[in-house]
Structure 1
C-alpha cells in the first residue's frame, strides 16, 4: 500500500503543488470574485431591485459549472505535451497521490471556495440593493435538494473535464465537448431504436425517462415511483462520475515521458 499512497509523501506533494500554483490560484480567485460581482451587480442594476431567489440559484449553478469546467480542464493541461509533462511525471510520488492532489483542488477545494465567494458577494449585493426592500437570499436553507443538485451536476461535469484533460493532448476542452455531445447523440439514437424493438407503440422519450405505451386512445404511463426516481437521479450521476474518475486515473498511470 505504501507504494501507491503514503500520507507523508502525499502531504509533500500537496504542499509542493500548492506552493507552485498559489499565485495563479489567487489570481484566478480574484478573477472569479470579480466576475461574480460584475454579473450580480449588473443584473441588480438593470432590474433596479434585489435579485429573486430563483435567479440567484440559476446564477450560482451556472457559475459553478462554467468556472469549474475551465479550472478542472486546466489541472492536467501540462500532461498534454511531453515537455510539459516531464516535471509532473518525474515527481517522486505515486500516480495516485498526484491524481488525488489535482482531484482535491479541483473538486472539494474549488466547490468550497466558489460557494463562499458567491454567497458573500451575493449577500453584499442584496443588502446594498435592498434599500429597505425585503429580499430572500439563496443559502441552501430550503432543503438538501438545493445543494445536492448543483453538487452532483458539478461532480459529473468534473469527471468529464478531468477525463478530457488527461485523454486529449490539444484543445482538450473542445474535444471533450464534441465527445460529450457525440456520446449523447449516440445514446439518444440507441435509446429510441431499443424502445422500438421492445415497445413498438411507445412515444419518443429521453433516456431514463417515463414511457408512454399504447395505441389509439388507450395509453399507459410506465414510470418509477417518486422515491425510486429521486434515488435514481442521485445515484446515476454519482456512478458515472466514479467511473470517469477511475478512467482518468487509469489513463494517468499510462502517461510516459
Structure 2
C-alpha cells in the first residue's frame, strides 16, 4: 500500500513537471528568446515540495490543501499569462499553406519511420523525435494556447484524483469533489475562452489583464479545496437534519 502511495505521488508530480515544461517551451517558441527558458527553474519548487512530502508525509498530502497543486500553479500560470498576452501576435497561416506544411511534414515523418525501421539505432530515434517536434511546431499558436488551457484544467482534475488522500477525507468525498471540480473547470474554461475571444476585449489590454487576474484567482480553489469545505459543511448539515428527524 505504501508503495502505491509513493508511486501515485511521484507520477502526479512528474505529469505536473512535464506539462509545465511544455508551457515554457511554447513561451520560448512564441517569444523567440532563449531567456524565457529560465521559467523552467520554477520547477525547483516542485522538486523541493516532492522531497519534503516524501520525507515527512510519506507521499501523502493534507486534507484541505494540496502543496503539489499549488506549486504546479506557480509553474504553469506565468507561461499561460505570457501566451495569452501575446495571443494577438501569434500567427496562423492560411489553410492551403497549413495543408502543404502538414503534407510535407507527414512525408518527412513517414520517411524517418522507414529509415528507423531499417536501422535500429539511437540516431534514428533522435531523428524521429526531431521530426515529431517539428510537426507539433506547425500547429497554430492560438490552438496551442487553447490546448494548454484545456490540458491545464484536465491536469488539475487528474492530479487531484491521483494524489494520495491526506487527513480524514474519504474516497466518497473525493469523488464528489472531483465532480465539483469538473463543473468548475468547465465554467472557468468557458469564461476565459469566450471572453478573450472577443476582439473588443483583445484590443483592450486592461480588460485582458483583468480577466487573467480573475482567472488566476479562481485557480486558487483547486489547491485550497474550498469546494470541499463547503461539501463537508453541507454533509454535516445533512447529518444534523437526519438526527432531528429521528428525535
TM-score band w.r.t. shorter chain = 0.3 to 0.5
Instruction: With the length of structure 1 as denominator, give the TM-score of the two structures.
Output: 0.34
Q: When the two structures are superposed, what TM-score results if normalisation uses the length of structure 2?
A: 0.35
Q: Which structure is higher in helix share?
A: 2
